[in-house]
Amino acid sequence: GESVGLHLPTLSVQEGDNSIINCAYSNSASDYFIWYKQESGKGPQFIIDIRSNMDKRQGQRVTVLLNKTVKHLSLQIAATQPGDSAVYFCAEIPYTSGTYKYIFGTGTRLKVLA
């Protein structure tokens, strides 16, 4: 289930189950969205991205869904493995920014239970 930690919400999932990590973004003008995975003590690692003209994009064991109506982004991980334990961040880039700066979400910690 979900719980709210000091700063990061945590999602606990049984190994082998599917995980769904959610993100609410702020700017309706955002053109590009991306998910990163960050393991403890390391830099963020690119997982998957999606443009605003798409609703869904699939990668290897991951799917990103974009709902522009409610400004919601989700990351689905199929058959969650212990190695998926990490903090997951969504990021958006407003089309009008012109600077390619990301607006990061607060992050969600995924804990995979054996």
Q: Where does 1-114 show beta strands of DSSP type E?
A: 2-4, 9-14, 19-24, 30-38, 45-51, 56-58, 62-67, 72-77, 86-94, 103-104, 108-113
Q: Of 44 and 112, which has the nearer Cβ to other proteins?
A: 44
Residues that bind other proteins (CB under 8 A): 5-8, 32, 34, 36, 41-46, 49, 89, 93, 99-102, 104-107
Look-up of token digits 């995980």: 19
Q: Of 41 and 83, which has the nearer Cβ to other proteins?
A: 41
Q: Of 56 and 101, which has the nearer Cβ to other proteins?
A: 101
Asked if residue 27 lies in contact with residue 92, where contact means CB atoms within 8 angstroms, the answer is yes
Query: Nearest distance from residue 98's CB to other proteins, in Å?
Result: 11
Q: Which sign does the torsion angle of CA 28, 101, 86, 58 carry? A: positive
Query: Nearest distance from residue 36's CB to other proteins, in Å?
Result: 7
Q: Of 47 and 112, which has the nearer Cβ to other proteins?
A: 47
Query: Nearest distance from residue 79's CB to other proteins, in Å?
Result: 26
Query: Nearest distance from residue 5's CB to other proteins, in Å?
Result: 7
State how far the Cα of 80 lies from the Cα of 96, in Å rounded to an integer: 36
